[in-house]
Structures are given as C-alpha cells and as structure tokens.
Amino acid sequence: MTPDFDVRLQSVIKALEQVILPAVDPANPLALEQAALAIGHLHMMRGQLPYLSDYVNLCRDEIARLGESLTAIAAGGAETLAAAVALAQALRGAADPALPPAQGRELIAQAVDALIRASGVDGSETFRDESENLVLDYGIRQTSRDRAWFKASGLDPDCAKLPSAAEILSAARG
C-alpha cells in the first residue's frame, strides 16, 4: 500500500518534531530555527493540500483572463503586436490539458510580461493606460489570494482578517 500525501506529510512532521529537532545541537540556533521553519511549512502545506489543485487552477485561470483582456485591446507598433500574438499563442498552449496548470500559468505570465515590456517600446498610449489598469486590478486580486493562501504562516499583520483557502476558492466560484 502506498500512503497518501497527507499521511506522508504527517510522518515527516513527526520525524522532524520527535527525532530530528531534539537531536539538533542547542548551541546551533540557526539549525533550530530552520528545523522549526521547515516543520511550520510542512504543517501549512498539509493544510493547503486539499485545496492545492483548485488554487493552482484558479491562479492560471485568472492570469488567462488578464491575458485575454490584454490581447483584446493590444495596440501599437510591431513589437507590441508581435508580443500580443505571442500571448495569444501562450493562452492556447496553457489551455492544453496535458500541460500542468502551474506551467500554464507561468507560460501566460511570461507572455504577459513580454507584452507589457513591448508596449513600453511602441505600444499606443491608450493601450499602456488600459493595460496598466488591468494589470493592477489583477495584481490586487492575486495578492489578496496569495495573502490568504499563506495565512497559516502567521506573517501577515492582518492574518486574522484574511479568508481561508476554502473561502477564497468559494468566492472565486461564486
């Protein structure tokens, strides 16, 4: 029998907490800190695991919507238009079910970046203004999602006010 990911994460956490961490030399505070940090990340990952696929898909879908919006309004010279064509190709490539969603998201993100950079060379003023607003709106939404996704780290000053992973995914569906 092959144990599932949750059981495996629990086993690693237990080994770190009960065997490895107590064996670390107390005179080595960096090693103690890093072991505790690793344990904290494993606990956080364990909590995120049930939502991981939906979260990665949501992030890919959101940047795809940004890419679609940018290609729909792209205007300017040869560099901007070529980058818009490349973004459209990236969107089609990211839609391939054989491509893992995280790779599809990265493919689109790189093409969006290339289009924004190209628009700085020869994009129309209208496109630059509109794309700035689209990118900022996307950035605000993604940052809010990321803050909620990493809520369990406790590092966000407003972590008590952040939604759970289930809540951000439910809100995205609704």
Q: Give the per-residue pLDDT at 31.
A: 95
d(CA 34, CA 19): 15
Please, which residues have CB within 8 angstroms of residue 31's CB and are 6 or more apart in sequence? 24, 25
List residues bridging with 76 in a β-sheet. Answer: 123
Q: Give the per-residue pLDDT at 1.
A: 64
Q: Give the per-residue pLDDT at 4.
A: 87
Q: Any idea how long the chain is?
A: 174
Residue of 29 and 172 predicted with greater confidence: 29
Q: Give the per-residue pLDDT at 59.
A: 96
Q: Give the per-residue pLDDT at 173.
A: 84
What's the pLDDT tens digit per position in 117-156?
999 999 999 999 999 999 999 999 999 999 999 999 888 9
Closest alpha carbon to 131 in 61, 72, 62: 72
Mean pLDDT for the chain? 95
User: Considering the chain, what percentage of its residues have pLDDT values greater than 70?
Assistant: 99
List residues bridging with 123 in a β-sheet. Answer: 76
Q: Are 83 and 111 contacting, i.e. CB atoms less than 8 angstroms apart? A: yes
Q: Give the per-residue pLDDT at 2.
A: 76
